[in-house]
Amino acid sequence: MRAEAGGLRGVLRLTAGHRGPITMTVALTLVAAALGLALPLVARDVIEAAGAGRTAWRGVGMLVALFAAQALAQALVRYQLARTGEGIVLGVRLSLIDHLLRLRMPAHDRHRVGDLISRTDADTFALRQVVAGGFTDAVTGTVGLAATVALMAWLDPVLLACVAAVVLAAGAVLGIALRGMRAASLRGRRAAGEMAADLERALSAIRTVKAGRAEARESERIGGRAGAAYTANVRMAGFDALVAPATELAVTGSFLLVLLIGGARVAGGTASVADLVAFLLYMLYLTGPLGALFESLSVVQQGTGAVHRIEEALALPREDDEAPATAPPPRADSPVLEFRDVWFGYRAARPVLRGATFTVPRHGHVALIGRSGAGKSTIFALAERFYDPDRGEILFGGVPVTASSRSRHRAGIGLVEQDCPILDGTLRDNLLYAAPDAPDGEIHRVLAMTDLTALVARLPHGLDTRVGEHGRELSGGERQRMAIARALITRPDLLLLDEPTAHLDLESELALHRTLAEITGHCALLVIAHRFSTVRAAAHVIVLDEGRIAASGTHEELMDTSPYYRTLAEGRSLGPVKQ
Ligand code: ATP
């Protein structure tokens, strides 16, 4: 029974914060069960009175009152159980949502977006089935069973022993079914997660799918995942089918056994008809909780895959965001960013940065160049503290970055990524994303800086125009400038730009270079440069080669001193650099 215990333990862990509502539900269940159990006792008195030729009106009245009270208590239990179940699912969803948004970057690298979404959505839905169906039945079943068994033991221990033997035999069949269900459940939930991840992959790149005429292939591939989920679920249904005969064996088998033995004892004169009737009534009461308990074990096992995947997601490592108590203030005379002998690799023993050392002066304009894969974006990721260096130190404003919380550190940096992600919503939502309380004046300032004022004036709803998912209602250049405006609105000390002119025409590019020159009056710029015009706009150039700083200086100095830079500048061997 270890497998079942594992599933139950998972459910208990996830429901740990809901002790209050669960206790209340159990208390209500006890009341309902006690009322139900009192009925046969009163019924026995009424029958015994009838046997003696009397009509026990008080007993009949009590029967009616007990019946009404039990019906009311059962309705309350049902409502309270459902409410508790919903509360548990909400609690798990809130924890998952918050946890997934705060995962460490390597955890995001290892898990697919669709799969993580499916854990929050489909798996918590499956957990609701466990809680609403399995958990609730388990509570009512266990309480009802315990009380009925206690009364049966008091009434007739021998008959109870016969019932227990039959139930144990049925439990063995149930055990086989539960073990099979547990494995099939995890396989089914995993396949459903993969299906969601594959579907998310295809739908988020639907233009590539269509352009590659890959609809049929994607459909087949994603359909394959759906098929794997189907196979696992059908297998689970096969094991679930065993639960019905096991329950039948336990319930009907013990009922028949009691009838046979009890009937024989009444015929032999060793027991009264009233005792047998009461015992059979308890048997009727036993069948409900017993069936519910067997069913609940089955439902819990069917949900173990979901519970396992939810717990797995909740165990993924989170970003720490604690600031040491005594963080020294940034020093105004220090470089805004400094890398000191920084080593870093995404995987052990495969360093991407190999002792990178450089500084970005306050209000400096620095270009970072190097071949594709040299580690330029990795430097940005470390500057933002998405990852921590394996060795070496990163300083922001002359203070080690670890002296501040990640959140406070990131507040001083604006990041414009290569693919400029734009969020679904209006232009205003996007611009205010990092500074929700910025006044309209700030919005107009950054729009002017990024040459977007005319675009906003042209749009039907101005700043309140929706941009579509991933900003698909904007052109590539507009998306890029919108992303720059969004980063500038927080007035960062350092702006990280990944080739900001990649999607601009010549006129916009010149305008942007003027903007960038103006920005250096407010903050420092570290720009990954693929275009030579971007390199020339910078005051200082850092050349990265296989994770090492190969050279650094002004364009003129590097042209004189660095053959590698000359090669890059002449565009002979550097793919991304365009003159
Ligand atoms: P490009 O100019 O093509 O954007 P880059 O200089 O910015 O390239 P990086 O993106 O920093 O290069 O990548 C450096 C190396 O690290 C590459 O070999 C890349 O495959 C690897 N890499 C980048 N991101 C990850 C990641 N999240 N997990 C594992 N490896 C990664």
Per-residue pLDDT at 469: 66
Taking the CA atoms of 454, 458, 463 and 468 in sequence, report the sign of the dihedral they define.
Answer: negative
Per-residue pLDDT at 326: 67
Per-residue pLDDT at 472: 65
Q: Which two tokens stand for residue 85?
A: 């179940």
- Determine which of 21-25, 75-79, 405-409 has the lowest per-residue pLDDT on average: 21-25
Alpha-carbon dihedral angle through residues 550, 556, 559, 561, given to the nearest 10 degrees? -60
Distance CA 556, CA 572 (A): 18
Q: Which two tokens stand for residue 510?
A: 């010149």
Distance CA 46, CA 53 (A): 11
Residue 576 Cβ < 6 Å to ligand 1: yes
Taking the CA atoms of 154, 158, 164 and 166 in sequence, report the sign of the dihedral they define.
Answer: negative
Q: Determine which residue's CA is closest to atom 29 belonging to ligand 1.
A: 346
Strand ranges of the sheet holding 524-528, from the earlier edge strand across to the other edge? 413-416, 494-498, 524-528, 365-370, 540-545, 548-553
Q: Which two tokens stand for residue 520?
A: 């250096």
Residue 419 Cβ < 6 Å to ligand 1: no
Whether the per-residue pLDDT at 573 is higher than 60: the answer is no
Q: Which two tokens stand for residue 397?
A: 């404003």
Q: Which residue has the tokens 């609403």?
A: 132
Mean model confidence pLDDT for the chain: 84
Q: What is the radius of gyration, based on Cα positions, of the chain?
A: 35
Whether the per-residue pLDDT at 100 is higher than 90: the answer is yes
Write phi, then psi, for 360 (nearest 5 degrees). -115, 110
Tell which wins on pLDDT, 330 or 44: 44
Whether the per-residue pLDDT at 340 is higher than 90: the answer is yes
Distance 197 CA to ligand 1 centre (A): 23
- Determine which of 5-19, 150-164, 248-262, 564-578 has the lowest per-residue pLDDT on average: 564-578
Distance 373 CA to ligand 1 centre (A): 5
Ligand 1 atom closest to Cα of 106?
27
pLDDT band at 450 (very low <50, low <70, confident <90, very high): confident
Residue 370 Cβ < 6 Å to ligand 1: yes
pLDDT band at 325 (very low <50, low <70, confident <90, very high): low
Whether the per-residue pLDDT at 311 is higher than 80: the answer is yes
Ligand 1 atom closest to Cα of 530?
2
Residue 373 Cβ < 6 Å to ligand 1: yes
pLDDT band at 393 (very low <50, low <70, confident <90, very high): very high
pLDDT band at 94 (very low <50, low <70, confident <90, very high): very high
Q: Which residue has the tokens 């500084």?
A: 359
Whether the per-residue pLDDT at 4 is higher than 50: the answer is no
Distance 126 CA to ligand 1 centre (A): 38
Per-residue pLDDT at 226: 95
Tell which wins on pLDDT, 27 or 331: 27
Identity (one letter) of the amino acid at 249?
L
pLDDT band at 354 (very low <50, low <70, confident <90, very high): very high
Catalogue all structural domains in the chain, each as residue range(s) with its CATH number: 11-304 (1.20.1560.10), 422-491 (3.40.50.300)
Residue 134 Cβ < 6 Å to ligand 1: no
pLDDT tens digits along 23-38:
887 788 778 777 877 8
Percentage of residues in the chain having pLDDT higher than 90: 27
pLDDT band at 383 (very low <50, low <70, confident <90, very high): very high
Residues 6+ apart with CB under 8 A from 209: 202, 215, 218
Between strands 365-370 and 413-416, the pairing is: unpaired
Distance 504 CA to ligand 1 centre (A): 24
Cβ(542)–Cβ(365) below 8 Å: no
Residue 356 Cβ < 6 Å to ligand 1: no
Residue 313 Cβ < 6 Å to ligand 1: no
Per-residue pLDDT at 2: 46
How would you class 503 by CB atoms within 10 Å of its CB: exposed for 0-12, middle for 13-18, buried for 19 or more? middle
Cβ(488)–Cβ(452) below 8 Å: no
pLDDT tens digits along 188-241:
999 999 999 999 999 988 989 998 899 999 999 999 999 999 999 999 889 888
Per-residue pLDDT at 388: 94
Q: Which helix (H) or strand (E) holds 56?
A: none
pLDDT band at 147 (very low <50, low <70, confident <90, very high): confident
Mutate to test the pocket of ligand 1, among 378, 390, 531 (most ligand atoms within 8 A of CB): 378
Angle between helices 2-14 and 273-314 (to 10 degrees): 70
Percentage of residues in the chain having pLDDT higher than 70: 93
pLDDT band at 316 (very low <50, low <70, confident <90, very high): very high
Taking the CA atoms of 151, 156, 157 and 163 in sequence, report the sign of the dihedral they define.
Answer: negative
Per-residue pLDDT at 318: 93
Tell which wins on pLDDT, 86 or 528: 528
Per-residue pLDDT at 574: 44
Whether the per-residue pLDDT at 389 is higher than 50: the answer is yes
Tell which wins on pLDDT, 310 or 299: 310
Cα–Cα distances (Å) from 556 to 12, 233, 431, 517, 541, in that order, read 68, 68, 38, 19, 10
